[in-house]
Amino acid sequence: MVGDMRLFVGWCGFPWCMFVGSWLFEGLEVVRYVRDATPVVPPEPIVELNNVSGDTLRQLLVRLRQLVSLVTVVAWARRVGLRVFVHASAMPDPVNDFVRAALAGGADGVLVDDFVSISSDLIEVVHVGEKVSDGSVNYVVVGPDVQVQQPVRAYGVILRDVVINKEWLLRIRDKLRLTYGSKEFLAALDNSLLRREIIEELQGVVDGIVVMEIPSVVSLDFDGHKALNVFRCVNCYIDYETEGEMRKCPRCGNRLRPVIRRWDKLTVIEPKVLRLKANDEIKYMRLGAPKVINY
């Protein structure tokens, strides 16, 4: 099957999802698309393609679901004030795609250990374990029932087997800080725990989270419709969908930020710029979804 297709977010476990993966569109005939590190509200479109086969679209769906899910969880945790690291074991090949996704969500770095390691000059790589070189920032991974005989001094402690209970977490946090003299207390979360309500529950209890698995928090779909241009007013918190161009918000007169629009040339953001763009976008996003108006 060959034709014109619109790819869009069908569902997201958060009020908005962050998009990443525009480099996967290279070589395709792109009409409109969302730039990386841009929040999108379901069911807004993320790309419109011409003359694309169904097989190509299905391959895009598989790759993009993982990337968009990862960047969305990272961005949401950053939005509520948590530090975020991604464990190297969560990153399948091609690793650089997932490093870019982490950057596009504003991640603080990637954690490696004695068993899983990656090499990247795009994102900070932090070793987890007791044996680190002098002057290095080190994190140790412990369970809630740890019995420490000769504790090492650690910059941060990562708690595995987390129980989502505020009183329990505070008790474990205080115990581990006393034992290790650590400055940071991070919770290691697998796919089952990477949900909005849990991330929000951890606010004020932990300093950050470690993503241990690629989450599954979005669904993507495609149809034969054309994508509308989408412009966002960060003052009114409204997304306007329109066939034409809009420069100012009809309600308040402020300048609109484009979400999806026609581009003469596919512009892939350099990986080292992604985190800067993510932080800029996240500061404008709220904890609920913007209202969508067909204008």
Question: Domain limits at 27?
Answer: 2-72+217-294
Give 219: exposed, middle or buried? Use CB within 10 Å, 0-12, 13-18, 19+. Answer: middle
Q: Using the 3D structure, point to which of 211, 227, 252 is the last residue of a domain.
A: 211
Count CB-CB contacts under 10 A for residue 218: 26
Q: What pLDDT band is residue 150 in, cutting at 50, 70 and 90?
A: low
Residue 132 reports pLDDT greater than 50: no
Q: Give this prediction's pTM.
A: 0.92
- More confident of the two residues 13 and 133: 13
- Looking at every residue in the chain, the average pLDDT score rounds to 89
Structure tokens, 17: 């999802």
- Shared domain for 8 and 115, answered yes or no, is no
What are the two backbone dihedrals, phi and then psi, of residue 162, each rounded to the nearest 5 degrees?
-70, 135
| Stronger pLDDT, 211 or 264, i.e. the higher one | 211
pLDDT in tens, 38-91: 999 999 999 999 988 888 888 899 999 999 999 999 999 999 999 999 999 999
Query: CA nearest 64: which of 106, 15, 10, 114?
Result: 10
Is the domain of 231 the same as that of 247? yes
Same domain for 99 and 181, yes or no, is yes
B/e letters for 28-48, b = 16+ CB within 10 Å, e = fewer, are: bebbbbbbbbbbbbbebbbbb
CATH code of the domain in which 244 resides = 3.20.140.10
The pLDDT tens digits of the residues spanning 8-36 come to 999 999 999 999 999 999 889 999 999 99
Domain C-terminal end among 211, 228, 258: 211
The pairing of beta strand 238-242 with beta strand 291-294: parallel
Residue 232 vs residues 12, 288, 290: alpha-carbon distances, Å:
19, 14, 9
* Domain count of the fold of the chain: 2
Quote the percentage of the chain above a pLDDT of 90: 66
Verify that 52 and 167 share a domain, yes or no: no
User: Does residue 7 contact residue 45 with C-beta atoms inside 8 Å?
Assistant: yes
The pLDDT of residue 57 is 85
Question: Average pLDDT in the 267-275 region?
Answer: 87
pLDDT at residue number 3: 66
pLDDT digits (tens, 9 = 90+) for 174-195: 888 888 887 899 999 999 999 9
Do 143 and 253 sit in the same domain of this protein?
no
115, pLDDT greater than 80: yes
